[in-house]
A and B are shown apart, each in its own frame.
Chain A
Amino acid sequence: MTEHITLTVNGVSRSLEVEPRRLLVQAIREDLGLTGTHIGCDTSQCGACTVQLDGMAVKSCSMLAVQADGRSITTIEGMGTPENLHPIQAAFWEKHGLQCGFCTPGMIMAAADLIARDDDPSDDEIRHAIEGNICRCTGYQNIVLAIREAAAVMRAGSAAPAAPASQA
């Protein structure tokens, strides 16, 4: 038995036939081919699989695809492009917020959730917001710096006057 579901993924409506037991992360990676979302632990501990569900960070290994039917998903592929990085991606690059990069998609999705709620988080608030994300490489310090930097860039961006039409 399969179920027919529709997800809006990175702004695009996608229809899928899935078994009820199919996890959201499998639907994203295997059915939709969006392999930027990683599976680290597969036991809801590491946050590598973090995506946004209707704007909220969730662990996609701990949700059934059928539970997401009709809802909006944003994955790391929906954040920026190699030519035009999202400010959080740019800040991770700039501040060396990654080494192997395995945790990075999940870290960035968790950071985006935080900055949407609080555009000027303290270091403690940043650490609390990435409590559900594990990094085996960086020691977290540069991730915290990157998120702080990203928040500053995004604050400045939203405070700046509208961009000229040629850059819109």
Chain B
Amino acid sequence: MIPAAFEYTRAGSLDEAIAAVRGGAKVIAGGQSILPLLKLRLASVDRLVDIGRIAELRGFRPQADGSLEIGALTTYAEWRAATTYPGVREAIDQIADVQVRHLGTVGGAIAHADPASDFPAIALAFDGSAVLRGPGGERVVPLDGFFEGAFVSGIRDDEILVAIRRPAVPAGAGFGYAKLAQPASGYSIVGVAAVIAKSGGSISHARIGVTGVHEHPYRATDVEAALVGSDASGKAIAAAAAHATDGVEVNSDIHADATYRAAMAVVYAGRAIEAALARAG
């Protein structure tokens, strides 16, 4: 299958890319989501702007204050090689396959806003924000609220996603990711990311990101609220995880109907919380 013809520009710098996307062009980063769509002709573009060579968009930049910025063009493989956060490598290994992880970028995963994409759930659990640059300058938008619908995010047509940023993680916080993968595609039927910290025997911080379940990735704030202040016992975890789909309309498709998916969201939320607690100091 061959995409319909399009014009092609390779941007040499971020400014060039911002100038080039004006007037309805689409960006290609790793191409692992957009090319399959163009090939199947589920999408078409008049003009494709290749941002794949822009060095300033790449890189893993830990800051002195404990915060972190990951350039949008950083591939899963580059992120895997750079991260030292316990549990993150294991989560990355559950995303797609080796070949896709060599080309697919974290920025592409956020910009594409696939309802079943794993990285958005992980980034939500780490309180991530999107750093966006357009003709009017830069703005930083929290990912909580950024995903608006299936394949719809808060990126404006004339903006480029430059980086994903997260604040310092609370001391001693553990991370866990639990995923029920659709066996053929590998995408999440349910994916739950948890970042949890304890202090003096009770949970002091909890962030839960969920993907695959709703039309877009979301933070399960009712689970977080039930966890904070609890004693982290099995009973407390189960009671909190039961809120995994509170207030969201649960997806239903040929792989998992809404009842099953909602039940699995609760099970995988429990597993993610347990994994995070096991790594919490």
Contact = CB atoms under 8 A, between A and B. Distances in A.
B35 A20 contact: no
Given A62-B36, A131-B186, A19 B5 contact: yes
Interface in A47-86: 47, 50, 53, 56-59, 61-64, 66-67, 69
Contacts of B103: 58, 62-63
A44 interface: yes
B63 interface: no
A62 B48 CA distance: 15
A58 B99 contact: yes
Interface residues of A, number: 34
Nearest to A131: B97
B35 A58 contact: no
Contact residues of A: prevailing secondary structure: mixed
A64 B31 contact: yes
B65 interface: no
A129 B101 CA distance: 11
Contacts of A26: 2
Contacts of A42: 1, 39
B5 A62 contact: no
Given A43-B39, A43-B40, A67-B52, A21 B99 contact: no
Given A43-B40, A58-B102, A21 B6 contact: yes
A44 B36 contact: yes
A66 B100 contact: no
Most buried by B among A47, A57, A67: A67
A47 B100 CA distance: 10
A20 B48 contact: yes
B98 A62 contact: no
Nearest to A61: B39
A53 B7 contact: no
Given A1-B7, A64-B31, A132 B2 contact: no
B32 A113 contact: no
Interface range on chain B (Cβ under 8 Å from partner):
20 to 34
A66 B50 contact: yes
Nearest to A52: B102
B156 to A, nearest CB: 25
A21 B47 CA distance: 11
| B7, B28, B31, B102 pick with most chain A CB within 10 angstroms | B102
A37 to B, nearest CB: 13
Given A42-B39, A64-B31, A67-B31, A59 B10 contact: no
A53 B32 CA distance: 15
B68 interface: no
A44 B100 contact: yes
A53 B99 CA distance: 10
A9 interface: no
Interface in B86-121: 93, 96-100, 102-103
B260 interface: no
A62 B40 contact: no
Contacts of A23: 2, 39
A146 interface: no
A110 interface: yes
Interface in A83-106: none
B162 to A, nearest CB: 20
Given A23-B2, A129-B98, 6 more contacts: A21-B2, A43-B40, A45-B184, A64-B28, A114-B98, A132-B99
**What are the 10 tightest A-B residue pairs by CB atom distance, in nearest-first order?**
A132-B97, A20-B8, A56-B102, A131-B97, A21-B3, A132-B99, A59-B99, A57-B99, A58-B99, A62-B35
Interface of B: 1-8, 10, 28, 31-32, 35-36, 38-40, 48, 50, 52, 77, 93, 96-100, 102-103, 184-186
